[in-house]
Amino acid sequence: MKSIIAKSTWFVDSDLRLDASYHLSDTNRIKHIFSTLPYLFTTIQKQSEKIFSGNIFKRTYVKDPERGIPYITGSDMIKLDITSGKYLSKKQATGLKKLLLEKGWILVTCSGTLGNTVYTNDLFAKSIATHDLIRIIPNNKNIKEGFLYAYLSSKYGYTLLTQSSYGGVVKHIEPHHLSNIPIPIFPTEKQQQIHDLITESAELRVEANKMLGDAVELFENEIGKSKVTMSSQNDIVSISKIQNFLSRIDAQYQIITQKLDNERDTTLEYRKISTLSKRIYVGNRAKRNYVENGIPFLSSSDMILFNPKRYAKQISQRTPSLNNLLVSRNDILISRSGTVGNVVIVGDDLKNSAVSEHALRLEIDDSKIAPEYVFCYLNTKQGKIYMEASAFGSVIITLNEDLIGNIDVPILTKNHSDFIVSKIKIYIEKLDLATLKESQAIQLVENEIEQWQN
Distance of CA 25 to the CA centre of its chain: 30
CB atoms near residue 266 (< 10 Å): 5
Are 30 and 48 found together in one domain? Answer: no
Residue 450 falls within a domain, yes or no? Answer: no
Q: What percent of the chain has pLDDT over 70?
A: 90
User: Residues in the chain, how many?
Assistant: 454
Same domain? 285 vs 136: no
The answer to the question of residue 197 being in a domain is: no
Residue 140 included in any domain: yes
Cβ–Cβ under 8 Å, residues 358 and 229? no
Residue 264 shares a structural domain with residue 337:
yes
User: How much is the pTM?
Assistant: 0.90
Stretch 174-197: mean pLDDT: 95
Of the candidates 303, 119, 309, which has an alpha carbon nearest to the alpha carbon of residue 203?
Answer: 119
pLDDT band at 63 (very low <50, low <70, confident <90, very high): confident
Does residue 343 register a pLDDT over 90?
yes
Which runs of E-coded beta strand occur in 299-400? 313-315, 332-335, 343-345, 354-355, 359-364
CATH number at residue 101: 3.90.220.20
Most confident among 13-27, 161-175, 240-254 (mean pLDDT): 161-175
Query: In this structure, what DSSP letter does residue 312 have?
Result: -
Report pLDDT for 244: 60
Q: Can you tell me the mean pLDDT for 248-254?
A: 77
Same domain (yes/no): 160, 219: no
**281/406 Cα distance (integer angstroms):** 14
Hey, what amino acid is at 70? P
The DSSP result for 80-142, as a single string, is: SS---S-EEEHHHHTT-GGGB--TT-EEEEEESEEEEEEE--TTTTT-EE-TTEEEEEE--SS
Q: What average pLDDT does range 311-320 have in this prediction?
A: 90
267-288 pLDDT per residue, tens: 999 999 999 999 999 988 878 8
Distances (CA, A) of 1 to 4, 20, 24: 10, 12, 11
Whether residues 235 and 376 fall in one domain: yes
**Considering the domain boundaries, does residue 132 fall inside one?**
yes
What backbone phi and psi angles, to 5 degrees, belong to 370?
-75, 135
pLDDT digits (tens, 9 = 90+) for 392-451: 887 888 898 998 999 999 999 999 999 999 999 999 999 999 999 999 999 999 999 998
Q: What does the mean pLDDT of the chain come to?
A: 88
Number of domains forming the structure of the chain: 3
Residues 30 and 129 occupy one common structural domain: no
| Terminal alpha carbon distance of the chain | 22
Q: What letter does residue 244 receive in the DSSP assignment?
A: G
pLDDT of residue 171: 82
Binned at pLDDT 50, 70 and 90, residue 248 comes out as confident
Is 190 contained in some domain? no
Q: 183, 143 in Cβ contact below 8 A?
A: yes
Which residues form the domain of 103?
Answer: 41-185
pLDDT in tens, 255-270: 888 888 888 888 999 9
- The DSSP bridge pattern shows strands 128-129 and 68-72 to be parallel
Residue 30 shares a structural domain with residue 133: no
Residues 383 and 247 placed together within one structural domain of the fold: yes
